Amino acid sequence: MARTLAMFTDVSLCIGCRACQVACKQWNQLAPEEPEWTGSYQNHEHFTDKSYRLVRFFEEPDDKVGVRWHMMSDVCKHCAQAGCLEACPTGAIYRTEFGTVNINQDICNGCRYCVSACPFGVVAFNHDTGTATKCTFCNDRIHNGLGPACAKACPTSSIRFGYRDELATLARKRVDELKAQGVKDAQLYGEDQNGPLGGLNAFFLITGKPAIYGLPEQPKLPQRNVFVDSLLSIGSAIAVGIGAVVAFRSRGGKEEI
Amino acid sequence: MEPGLLKSAEWPLLIDVYFFLGGIAGGAFVIATIANLLDAERYKNVVRVGYYVALLAVIPAPILLIVDLGLPTRFLHMLMVSKPSTAIGQGAMTLGPFHVKPLSPMSMGAWALMVFSGCAFLAALDVFLEHRGGRGFPALRTIVGLVGSVFGFFLAAYPGVLLGATAQPMFVSGHWLGALFLAVGASTGGAAIALVLALVGGERRDALAALMRTVAIALVVQAVTLVLFIVTVKMSGSVGISRALAPLVSGQYSLTFWLGAVTIGLIVPLALAWSGRLRRAPAGLAALVAILVLVGGFVIKYVLIAAGQVA
């Protein structure tokens, strides 16, 4: 396996210009969509089958300055333990040699299980092709040494792309830098490979609690439930089975026609 | 968890119908097998109708799934692709073009459906031949019955485990959905047999009574697992998750839930069974209870799936 590639998004540098969103649409030839009014500059509310990149806008009430604006360019996290990949019954979702998670459009059969299994609401269903789609880190570009279109387009280097280990070092340095400048809440989300989901291959530097950005504090792999739920089902099967044996054995009314 | 971020699969009603029929098929098959093993002569009609119901309920299953996926060849991808990738998940196994993923209940369920359908066909064929005056194959029926029962239970329970392995707040924190769906499969499977026997008429009363007792026991398990599910979700601690329960117990689906799933599907049939009116198993009353259980069994699956996808 090649060295893991990753994306590091630093929200402290994001200016909300959405060049990444446009670049993504252009490179991946994603069709235009009806705009949605979400109450802010954010468009759309969720990732869609035609928006793999999404700049999210959040307003946080603040005693000193009235309101703090947060902008974050959101993307598929390419989780090291990916709920969508584990859920997929066809094997269409696979891990590439770079550690990214892709959906093979020829194999995907449109069951939509991955859509409901993603802890971040990333995977979207395309009604035209009848398949699930999401960000690929521009698979065609990274196989030709170009880096994803969004990272290329970002004018402030808020989005960086490269080898995961190098980016992680850079990210940690940047947190220290920001803290020294007085940004107390600066923290990394998804960088820790011993953390939730084995670390995210798209990790973030955020300047507030994850909840402000709509990110789950402790995202979990949905499939962790399979074992316990199956055991309880077996318990239920035993209860029903024994019950049926007892019911068919006992002669209750004893009345026969 | 921030439920607002999540997306749901938006499975249509025909998936609910599939889960319902799969439960009936699995439940009826297991009940027929147990009756056959205990007293093949006394429960002859229970066994015969049970295996017929199992086959008839499972035949539409792949059709419903194919309609949902849009193209017939797409269903095949659940089982095989021409060249499976190797990095498709933890514990994934491939053999030639075939693949199975133990951590994906949908992959396991597709295989269970295949094996179970074969068993249901063989069992139904055997009781059919015997009924037509043939000798039947008792040893084969026993083996097919035991193998099919394992997969029948699986078919009834796996949709619940499948829902539990999503990111939807209500489903992930419950843990008891598989157990509940299995019990619903048993109660509705037994009720379907009882309904046919009651409508055809002339069934031995002790056999029908035993069947209704089985249904009642399955209903008790169903009630207990439902309570455990709701309590587990409530106690899971997270605000977002307790909020996820609201559509079911007090929100837009609460009337359907309390009236359809709880009152019609559980309380009334259990009260009738408890009162002893079913002991003599008059056909009319048995048919009424069977219909209530079937309606309640469909509603409970429908309402849980619908309410869980609201958040």
Q: What ipTM did this prediction achieve? A: 0.94
Q: Is the predicted pLDDT of residue B311 greater than 60, yes or no?
A: no
Q: What is the pLDDT of residue B130?
A: 92
Q: Which of residues 216-275 of B touch A (CB under 8 A)?
A: 216-218, 220-221, 225
CA dist B35 and A157 (Å) reads: 70
CA dist A35 and B212 (Å) reads: 57
Say whether A247 and B11 touch across the interface (CB within 8 A).
no
- Are A78 and A200 in contact by the 8 Å Cβ rule? The answer is yes
Lowest-pLDDT choice from A126-135, B42-51, B81-90: B81-90
Three-state DSSP class for B280?
A: coil
CA dist B54 and B67 (Å) reads: 21
- Are A83 and A69 in contact by the 8 Å Cβ rule? The answer is no
Give the residue extent of every domain in chain A. Answer: 5-220
Work out the mean pLDDT of chain B and round it to a whole number: 92
For chain A, what is the HEC assignment?
CCCCEEEEEEHHHCCCCCHHHHHHHHHCCCCCCCCCCCCCCCCCCCCECCECCEEEEEEEEECCCEEEEEEEEECCCCECCCHHHHHCCCCCEEECCCCCEEECCCCCCCCCHHHHHCCCCCCEEECCCCEEECCCCCHHHHCCCCCCHHHHHCCCCCEEEEEHHHHHHHHHHHHHHHHHCCCCCCEEECCCCCCHHHCECEEEEECCCHHHHCCCCCCCCHHHHHHHHHHHHHHHHHHHHHHHHHHHHCCCCCCCC
Among B92, B103, B206, select the one facing A226 at the smallest CB separation. Answer: B103
Q: What is the pLDDT of residue A251?
A: 63
- Percent of chain A at pLDDT above 70? 97
CATH class of A5-220: alpha beta
DSSP designation for B236: T
User: Which among A159, A133, A150, A189 has a CA at the least distance from the CA of A53?
Assistant: A150
Once rounded to an integer, what is the mean pLDDT over residues A182-186?
Answer: 93
Q: What is the pLDDT of residue B4?
A: 63
pLDDT in tens, B271-281: 998 887 777 76
Say whether A87 and B104 touch across the interface (CB within 8 A).
yes
Q: What are the Cα distances from residue B310, in Å, to A32, A39, A253, B14, B244?
A: 27, 22, 47, 18, 8
Q: What is the pLDDT of residue B17?
A: 97
Three-state DSSP class for B100?
A: strand
**CA-angle at B169, arms to B163 and B174, nearest 5°:** 60
- The two tokens of residue B247 are 């559509």
Q: What are the Cα distances from residue B152, in Å, to B27, B127, B132, B144, B297?
A: 7, 18, 26, 11, 17
Once rounded to an integer, what is the mean pLDDT over residues B10-34?
Answer: 96
Give the pLDDT band of residue A257 (cuts 50, 70, 90): very low
Q: What is the pLDDT of residue A17?
A: 95
Q: Is the predicted pLDDT of residue A171 greater than 90, yes or no?
A: yes
Once rounded to an integer, what is the mean pLDDT over residues A124-141?
Answer: 96
Once rounded to an integer, what is the mean pLDDT over residues A20-24?
Answer: 97
Q: What is the pLDDT of residue A201?
A: 97
Cα-based torsion angle of the residue sequence A79, A84, A90, A96 in order, rounded to the nearest 10 degrees: -20
CA dist A100 and A169 (Å) reads: 20
Q: Is the predicted pLDDT of residue A254 greater than 60, yes or no?
A: no
Three-state DSSP class for B98?
A: strand
B157 contacts chain A (CB < 8 A): yes
DSSP designation for B3: G
Q: Which range has the top average pLDDT, A41-50, A53-62, A231-240, B169-178? A: A231-240
Q: What is the pLDDT of residue B1?
A: 35
pLDDT in tens, B196-248: 999 998 778 889 999 999 999 999 999 999 999 999 998 886 666 667 788 89
Domain spanning B3-308 has what CATH number?
1.20.1630.10
Residue type, B116: F
Q: What is the pLDDT of residue B239?
A: 60
Q: Is the predicted pLDDT of residue A135 greater than 50, yes or no?
A: yes
pLDDT in tens, A81-106: 999 999 999 999 999 999 999 999 99
Q: What is the pLDDT of residue B243?
A: 75
Q: What are the chain A neighbours of B153 within 8 Å (beta carbons)? A: 233, 237
Among B11, B31, B160, select the one facing A244 at the smallest CB separation. Answer: B31
Three-state DSSP class for B80?
A: strand
Q: Is the predicted pLDDT of residue B35 greater than 80, yes or no?
A: yes
Once rounded to an integer, what is the mean pLDDT over residues B148-155?
Answer: 98
Say whether A244 and B162 touch across the interface (CB within 8 A).
no
Q: What is the pTM of this model?
A: 0.94
Q: What is the pLDDT of residue B205?
A: 85
CA dist B59 and A252 (Å) reads: 35
Give the residue extent of every domain in chain B. Answer: 3-308
Q: What are the chain B neighbours of A92 within 8 Å (beta carbons)? A: 77, 81
Q: What is the pLDDT of residue B2?
A: 43
Q: Which of B103, B184, B219 to mutate to test the interface with A (most CBs of A within 10 A)?
A: B103
CA dist B151 and B147 (Å) reads: 7
Q: How many residues does chain B have?
A: 311
Other CB atoms within a 10 A radius of the CB of residue B42 amount to 17
B44 CB-near residues (< 8 Å, 6+ apart): none
Spacing of C-alpha B12 from chain mean position: 18
Q: Which range has the top average pLDDT, B81-90, B176-185, B281-290? A: B176-185
